[in-house]
Amino acid sequence: MSADIVVAGPVAAAGGIRSGFLREANAACAIGWREVLSAIRNPVSIVVTIIIPVIFMGILGGSISQNLGAGLQFAYLPFMLIGMIANTLYQGTITGVTNLVEERENDFTAELFVAPVSRYTVLMGKMLGAAVAAMVSLIGVLAMIVVMQIPMDPGDLMRVLMLAPILAIAGGALGILFIGFVQDPKVAGLGVVLLVFPQMFLSGALIPSTNSSGLLGVLSKLMPMTYSIDLARNIFYAGKPEYAFAVLHPFWLDLLITVAVCVVFIVVGTVMFVRRDRNR
């Protein structure tokens, strides 16, 4: 009888762990799927998906290409396209994750924080859902290939798109770090703008930053998006003559910094968010 109890103890413990893991995994998937559906069904999100590429690629990018492109040692339009793919993924996931601050107060997510689900699960589900939604929003950027007649080899484009999950999670990591320290919805809304737009212009998404020096050069090197965008360009320009002119850093350095920043931002941001939420 005692032997049966000894055996049953570890078995029951293992079953409890497995059940708890499945519950958390199901919750994360449900949160992520809700995030994707919200983005798809939101008319504002759909309009932004179309307008942002038109403004930044069609108008700003087109103007830069026509007026300054001839002075570059590489074709500007493909360079811009890769930058905007990375920027869209980064921006979309940051926005989705930081929305958690507002939803924490007045939305479905508020109920999750009183449900028997770990706050870590809520954050991970939110980030993964926002990452998938950001990848869906690439439709507008990719449509500009046809609209602007950007010369693009399908194989090169597919290699960059395979990197999309890493780029999206990199943006989500920055979003998690941000909400770990900011829990006021108004401050969070303004903070997203300050997180995204300076990086868009300083990281080389639209404007080449190879020759940036002084304060602009320092800021460019401090921007996490700089290394994510350069990682995508490393893959796109690999083996091409333009590689030396279009790419800032070696592949290993971009990958190392991107992964390290993701891990640090996610760990620190998650710990801070959970600690602040428990102290509410």
What value does the mean pLDDT take over residues 63-81? 83
Q: Work out the mean pLDDT of the chain and round it to a whole number.
A: 81
pLDDT above 80 (res 31): no
Choice between 154 and 112, residue whose per-residue pLDDT is larger? 154
Integer angstrom CA distances of residue 163 from 168, 211, 236: 9, 26, 11
The per-residue pLDDT for 257 is 94
pLDDT at 4 over 60: no
Mean pLDDT of 17-40: 74
Query: pLDDT by residue (tens digit) across 206-253?
Result: 888 888 888 888 998 999 999 999 999 999 998 899 998 899 999 999
pLDDT digits (tens, 9 = 90+) for 121-154: 778 888 888 888 888 888 888 888 888 888 888 8
Whether the full predicted model's pTM is greater than 0.85, yes or no, is no
* 177 Cβ contact list (under 8 Å, min separation 6): 265, 266, 268, 269, 272
Per-residue confidence (pLDDT) for residue 228, from 0 to 100? 92
- Count Cβ atoms within 10 A of the Cβ of residue 165 and give its class: 0-12 exposed, 13-18 middle, 19 or more buried: middle
Quick one: average pLDDT of 170-182? Answer: 87
Question: How confident is the model at residue 233, as a pLDDT?
Answer: 93
> In whole angstroms, what is the distance from residue 213 CA to residue 25 CA?
46
